[in-house]
Each structure stands twice: as C-alpha cells, then as structure tokens.
C-alpha cells in the first residue's frame, strides 16, 4: 500500500431512493456457508449486499474441453460475473437412450471449473433451446416420433410422450450437476425453463414443476421475456429476462437495419424488443409492458454481443455495437447486462447432418447457418480470439459496474429521452446507431456525485472529508490503489468540476483535490488497463488470472509461408434455390463439385507445441476446409477472413473449397462487400487473397 492510499481511504456513494421493494421466493437460496442469493424487484442480493452482475453466454459443447478454464478466466477478465450456457438435448442424446456427457459435452466438469473460478452459473435446460443448433436442440429420433404420433409427442406441448422424454432429459441433466447447486455449495444459481415460448402458462408450470421434482432447487427460475405470453401467467413463478440485438440474421429482408433495430440504440421505458426472432414471432411484436411485469427486476439475458450470419443475410459486425446496447439498457434501468453470445464456438461434427440450424430440417428450420462455425462475431470469437473494439469498450464499462454497480442498482431512472437517461448521480448517453450513425458516441458520466474521504492521519483519525463531482466530461472507470480513475470520451475535452472548480487534467497524470487523487486515462491507455486486485496492470493483450499467476495472451501473425496450390478451377455459378422458409438456401455437399479447390501443404513443419491457426482471406460465397475428406470448418463470406485450428489439420490431406458468389444471388451484403461484388468481372466474385499463420501466445507476467 502506498503512503497516499494509507492516508486516505475513498468512500464513494450516491444518493439512493427509498422505495418499497418486493422480494421473490423461488427455490432454496442459501448455501452451506450461510450466503444467500436473493432476488428482489431491483435485482440480485448476494450475502446481504446488492450487486449488479454481468452475465455472459458460452456453450461448453462448442468449445474444446481443454480450453474451458482459460476461456472462462478470460471472460472473468472481461468483467463477466455470471456464466450462462445452453444444454442442447441433441448434443447429449443423439440416439434415444444413449447419453454422451464426455469430452466437450462434459457438463459436470464445465460447471466444476466455473465453481473453482468463483463464477455463478445459469443453466438453460430447454427442452427447446434454439441457439442456432439443429432443430433447436431436439434430437432426430424425437422429431420423428412427433411427426408420426403428434398426439403423444407433439413438441413443446404437454403431450404425454413429449413430457416423458423431457422428464428424462431433465433427470439426466440433473444427474450431471447434482452436488453443484447453490444450496450444495456449488455455483448453479438459476435455471431457464424453455426458450422463446408463448406458453400456454400451464406448459411452463408443468416444465418448472418437473425440473423441481427431479432436483433443480435453485435460488431463481427464469424464462425469456419474449414473446408475450398468451395469458394466465402466475406472477412470481418465473423471472422474465429480456434482450435486444443490433441486427439480426433471421430477418426475411435483404436491406440494412430493417424494422426496429435502430430502437435498440435508444433509451426506452419498455424492456421488450420488437426485433428478436422476427422470422418466428413476426415483425410487429407488441412491446407495451404489462404493469405486473414492471414489478420484476429489469434483467437481460440476450444483449447482442455480436451476431451470427445466415446464408441469406451476411451481417458484418464491427464490435462498436456492444457498448451502446449495454449503455441504453443500463440507462433505461436494467440491473443485469447479459450477453448472447459472449464467447463463440464450433458445432460438434455429425456425419449424418449439419449440427447448425437449416431450412432442410423438419422443425426449427427458419434459417440456414454454417454447419460448423458459431463464431457469432462476438467479444471472444470461435477460437477465443478477441474482437478488440467490443472487448475493450465493454470491459471498461463492466469495471465501472464492478466498482459502483451496487449503488447504481438502487437508483431509479430519474429522466429519460431517446439519447439520454439519468439514474441517480450517473448520466447515460448514446447517439451511435449501427450503420445509420456509425460516428455516434456512447458513454456514462457522473453528475452531483458525492464522495467521502476517511482521513487516517494521526491527528484526525477517522474524520470525514466530503466533496462532490458536480459534473464531468469523462467516464468513471475504477478505483485502484487510492486513485479514482476516469477515461476520456472521444471528441470531448476532458474536464472535471469538483465543488464548483473546473479542472482540465493532463491525461494519464494523477492530480489531487480535496484529499482525493484523480487520474483521467486516455482512451488508448485505458484499452491497455486491467484492474486486478486493487492495482492497475497494463498490456496490449488480454490479462487474466490463472490461480495465483498473472497470464498475458496475445495474437500474432507469424512470418510463416503457407503453401497452397489451386488444383481445380470453379465450375461456374450454382443455381440458388429458395428454402422452405422462402429465403435463399445454402449449398449442399454436391454443389461443392463446382467449387474452386486449393490443396494446402507444409503445415506438418510447424511447431506442434504452438497454439496456431490459419487465417484464410478470401472472397466468394461459401468456403469449406476438409481434412482427410471430413468437414472441419465452413464460412459464409461477409468480408471477414475465416479462422481454422491448425490442430484440426496437421498430418492430414487439406483441401480448401470456395464457391463463387454471383451478382444476382438473393442474399444481403453490407455496402462494402456489395461494392466488391458489383465490381467483380462477369458478375462473379471469387478469390483466395492469402493464408496467414496466427499464434495465440500465452506468457506469465509478474504481479
């Protein structure tokens, strides 16, 4: 501890509003140590203290088992304090009665790692999950039964056969996590029942009762707050959690930002989104909140951390979208930013059919998504690679919530307009809108923020000094080592008004005023700053803790030449047909007979001890990588390169196949990619622009 931090201990507080708060009682909410995990109308209370957590989704079955711990540790470094994950039925019971909980599907090991890393877990147990997985997670044997005998097996109803199968699913999930519930000293604090379902309510209650009967006794139970239920909800039984997205692959139109996506970027007095799942729920969803729903805490489970691509809609996410989404929800009163997805992944390989959603399947067949990749263009992508813009900007916001979210969670929305909201002593602003106003900004600033300093000098031990930040044009970041850190706002002169006196601080240089030490970091400097313990560390990579070790992860291009030879020219454009849902259908395996084909070699010479990836830059329609004839990675072109694990390729015969993209294909491309297609000779776009070797390097840093 420095002399300065010894002399002064900063106590930061904001005025709170005393209102009646309802406490909800679900399952057992106290663990063996006596720590309660409670829910009231504001949000979560842990150990008697209000918290404002950050939830991030990662799908264990889509991430290699040996990478789980590292990726969870990185999520913690990004500010995630609750892990959410789907349990996909089809991943575990592909054949009726044969269960697989091994390898990447070892749910118990995944939850145990979350426990060891100190992260609570919310399990989304279905039976329907969606998650862009084949048939929404329903196994083929079950959908076959539903088609042959709907009276017994009609999906997502209380048909006897379907409910019996679901009970067996719940029993098997519980058998994997028994001993890991909160009441047992484990991390599982919540369970989501079903997903994106209108009801009826009796169906929801039958599923919840079934989950409780098999053993899921948890502090809370949730459902997605969309779509609106078809009546008869029993209040206080399931917490509705909400969401919003910056854009959607599921839309039926081929234009920029269709429908109401721009409304995701404004402050609003409704928690409901009109843009989620429009292919299934329609484009005119009712967003008027019912009074009883406003009595629940405002929590989200699906803020778009990125967006997947469908074949017909090739969205290209920049990463700038993530922070504005969160700012607008926080400003509107939310007390849980919950990201879907926070971490991407890869679908398990299945030789019988794709494991991604497809129009060619009997059910949940609204869109065609890639067979293998589920990168989601999110904060940590398919291989755990960072989207630096989204990673840094959200991480800094999450650190603000870690230090002052408990206070913010108790503050009402005092005023609100499209671009501005105020909660207590924090003001939220956003005028960024994806594509429509890419030059906009998004930030939170303090106003009338009261701070108290405990003076520990011998002559005045314990005396209080108080001061107020009247306003500032900088963002609060964190408190570390006795210093109150802020971050400059792009395009604004950094100023802080303290007790009526205006300061224009020098960036990255601490200054003292009324017994407090302040420092405003440049945005560039802040992007390298990580608060670990009570100290700031700086890195151009990702800093995270692994037990008692401080680790640094960087991603670097190696000066290694990859040999690739064109062995077959493309055979012309394929006929693009419309799928069952009247949008363009992705190519089938036989279509790749017309693909341009390259043979890739020389990979065996690379150091197998390194964590390496191929970055393939190309232009075209769809690219696929085969290793000894097996599909290991695919990609719908949206202007970004595809990434492939070298470990999937070494020692095998490698082929890269790329289908040409036609000028008149009925697909959506953003303007930058559309311009390349418009300029393509003969209206055909196809090129392999280069292959690079990327190394993920992890080194230990000194504390």
Query: What is the sign, positive or negative, of the torsion defined by CA atoms of 498, 503, 504, 509?
Result: negative
Nearest-5° angle of CA 122, CA 125, CA 129?
Answer: 110
Residue 448 has a pLDDT of: 97
- Per the prediction, the chain carries an average pLDDT of 95
* 153-162, 459-468, 495-504, 527-536: least confidently modelled range: 459-468
| Model confidence at 70: pLDDT above 80 | yes
User: What would the mean pLDDT of 513-530 be, rounded to a whole number?
Assistant: 95
| Model confidence at 350: pLDDT above 50 | yes
Residue 570 has a pLDDT of: 98
Residue 385 has a pLDDT of: 98
User: What would the mean pLDDT of 622-648 be, rounded to a whole number?
Assistant: 98
Residue 16 has a pLDDT of: 45
Query: What is the sign, positive or negative, of the torsion defined by CA atoms of 554, 560, 563, 564?
Result: positive
| Model confidence at 462: pLDDT above 80 | no
In our burial notation (b when 16+ CB lie closer than 10 A, e otherwise), range 266-286 reads bbbeebbbbbbbbbebeeebe
Given a contact cutoff of 8 angstroms between Cβ atoms, the answer to whether 186 and 115 are in contact is: yes
At residue 596 the predicted structure's pLDDT band, cuts being 50, 70 and 90, is very high
- Distances, alpha carbon 249 to alpha carbons 33, 397, 553, 680, in Å: 45, 27, 31, 25
d(CA 178, CA 188): 10
Q: Residue 224: helix, strand or coil by DSSP?
A: strand
DSSP letters of 459-516? Answer: GGTTEEEEEEEEEESEEEEEEETTEEEEEEPTTS---EEETTEEE-PPTT--EEETTE
User: What would the mean pLDDT of 341-347 be, rounded to a whole number?
Assistant: 98
Over the stretch 472-514, which tens digit does the pLDDT of each residue have?
999 999 999 999 999 999 999 999 999 999 999 999 999 999 8
At residue 609 the predicted structure's pLDDT band, cuts being 50, 70 and 90, is confident
d(CA 70, CA 58): 13
User: What would the mean pLDDT of 668-688 be, rounded to a whole number?
Assistant: 97
Residue 344 has a pLDDT of: 98
Helix axes 201-214, 160-177, angle to 10 degrees: 40
Residue 377 has a pLDDT of: 98
d(CA 524, CA 528): 7
d(CA 690, CA 564): 9
Residue 10 has a pLDDT of: 59
d(CA 404, CA 50): 11
Residue 552 has a pLDDT of: 98
d(CA 37, CA 182): 8
d(CA 219, CA 189): 5
In our burial notation (b when 16+ CB lie closer than 10 A, e otherwise), range 297-327 reads bbbbbbbbbbbbbbbbbbbbbebbbbbbbbb
Residue 2 has a pLDDT of: 41
Over the stretch 172-182, which tens digit does the pLDDT of each residue have?
999 999 999 99
Give percent of the chain with pLDDT exceeding 70: 96
d(CA 91, CA 131): 12
Q: Residue 606: helix, strand or coil by DSSP?
A: coil
Over the stretch 577-586, which tens digit does the pLDDT of each residue have?
999 999 999 9
Over the stretch 269-284, which tens digit does the pLDDT of each residue have?
999 999 999 998 988 8
Residue 667 has a pLDDT of: 98
| Model confidence at 12: pLDDT above 70 | no
| Model confidence at 7: pLDDT above 50 | no
- Separation of CA 257 from chain center: 20
| Model confidence at 97: pLDDT above 80 | yes
Q: Residue 210: helix, strand or coil by DSSP?
A: helix
Residue 122 has a pLDDT of: 98
| Model confidence at 5: pLDDT above 50 | no
Residue 82 has a pLDDT of: 98
d(CA 446, CA 472): 6
Q: For 453-469, what is the HEC assignment?
A: EEECCHHHCCEEEEEEE
């Amino acid at each position: 501890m420095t002399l300065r931090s010894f002399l002064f201990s900063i106590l930061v507080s904001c005025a709170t509003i005393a209102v009646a708060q309802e406490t909800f009682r679900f399952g057992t909410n106290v663990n063996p140590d006596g720590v309660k995990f409670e829910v009231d109308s504001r949000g979560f209370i842990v150990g008697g203290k209000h918290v404002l957590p950050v939830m991030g989704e990662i799908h264990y079955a889509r991430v290699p088992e040996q990478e789980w711990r590292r990726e969870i540790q990185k999520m913690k470094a990004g500010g995630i304090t609750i892990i959410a994950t789907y349990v996909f039925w089809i991943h575990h019971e592909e054949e009726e009665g044969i269960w697989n909980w091994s390898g990447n599907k070892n749910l118990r090991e995944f939850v145990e790692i979350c426990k060891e890393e100190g992260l609570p877990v919310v399990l989304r147990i279905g039976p329907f999950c969606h998650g862009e997985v084949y048939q929404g997670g329903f196994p083929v044997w079950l959908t076959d039964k539903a088609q042959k005998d709907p009276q017994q097996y009609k999906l997502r109803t209380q048909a006897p056969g379907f409910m019996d199968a679901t009970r067996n699913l719940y029993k098997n999930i519980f058998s994997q996590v028994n001993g890991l519930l909160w009441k047992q000293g484990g991390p599982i604090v919540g369970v989501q029942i079903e997903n994106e379902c209108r009801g009826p309510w009796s169906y929801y209650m039958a599923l919840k009762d079934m989950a409780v009967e098999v053993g899921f006794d948890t502090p809370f139970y949730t459902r997605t707050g969309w779509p609106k239920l078809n009546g008869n909800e029993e209040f206080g039984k399931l917490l509705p959690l909400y969401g919003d997205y910056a854009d959607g692959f599921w839309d039926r139109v081929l234009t920029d930002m269709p429908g109401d996506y721009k409304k995701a970027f404004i402050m609003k007095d409704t928690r409901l989104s009109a843009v989620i799942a429009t292919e299934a729920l329609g484009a005119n969803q009712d967003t008027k909140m019912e009074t009883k729903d406003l009595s629940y805490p405002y929590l989200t489970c699906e803020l778009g951390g990125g967006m997947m691509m469908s074949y017909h809609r090739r969205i290209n996410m920049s990463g700038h979208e993530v922070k504005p989404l969160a700012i607008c929800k926080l400003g509107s009163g939310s007390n849980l930013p919950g990201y879907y997805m926070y971490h991407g992944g890869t679908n398990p390989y299945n030789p019988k059919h794709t494991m991604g959603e497809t129009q060619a399947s009997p059910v949940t067949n609204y869109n065609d998504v890639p067979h293998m990749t589920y990168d989601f263009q999110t904060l940590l992508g398919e291989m755990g690679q960072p989207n630096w813009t989204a990673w840094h900007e959200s991480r800094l916001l999450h650190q603000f919530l870690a230090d002052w979210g408990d206070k913010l969670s108790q503050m009402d929305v005092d005023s609100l307009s499209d671009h501005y909201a105020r909660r207590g002593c924090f003001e939220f602003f956003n005028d960024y809108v994806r594509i429509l106003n890419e030059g906009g900004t998004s930030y939170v600033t303090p106003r009338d923020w009261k701070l108290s300093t405990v003076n520990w000098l011998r002559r005045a031990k314990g005396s209080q000094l108080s001061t107020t930040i009247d306003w500032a044009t900088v963002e609060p970041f964190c408190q570390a080592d006795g210093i109150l850190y802020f971050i400059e706002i792009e395009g604004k002169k950094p100023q802080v008004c303290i007790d009526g006196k205006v300061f224009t601080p020098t960036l990255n240089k601490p200054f003292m005023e009324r017994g407090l030490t302040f420092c405003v970091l440049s945005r560039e400097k802040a992007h390298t700053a990580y608060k670990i313990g009570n100290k700031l560390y700086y890195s151009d990579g990702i800093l995270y803790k692994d037990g008692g070790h401080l680790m640094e992860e960087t991603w670097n291009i190696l000066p290694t030449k990859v040999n690739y030879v064109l062995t077959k020219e493309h055979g012309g454009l394929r006929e693009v047909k419309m799928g069952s849902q009247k949008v363009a259908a992705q190519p089938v395996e036989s279509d790749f007979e017309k693909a341009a084909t390259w043979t890739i070699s020389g990979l065996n010479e690379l150091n197998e001890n390194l964590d390496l990836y191929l970055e393939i830059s190309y232009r075209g329609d769809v690219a696929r990588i085969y290793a000894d004839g097996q599909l290991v990675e695919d990609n719908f072109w949206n202007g970004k390169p595809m990434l492939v694990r070298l470990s999937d390729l070494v020692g095998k015969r490698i082929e890269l196949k790329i289908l040409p993209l036609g000028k008149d294909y009925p697909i959506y491309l953003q303007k930058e990619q559309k311009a390349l297609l418009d300029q393509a000779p003969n209206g055909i776009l196809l090129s392999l622009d280069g292959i690079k070797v990327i190394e993920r390097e992890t080194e230990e840093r000194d504390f």
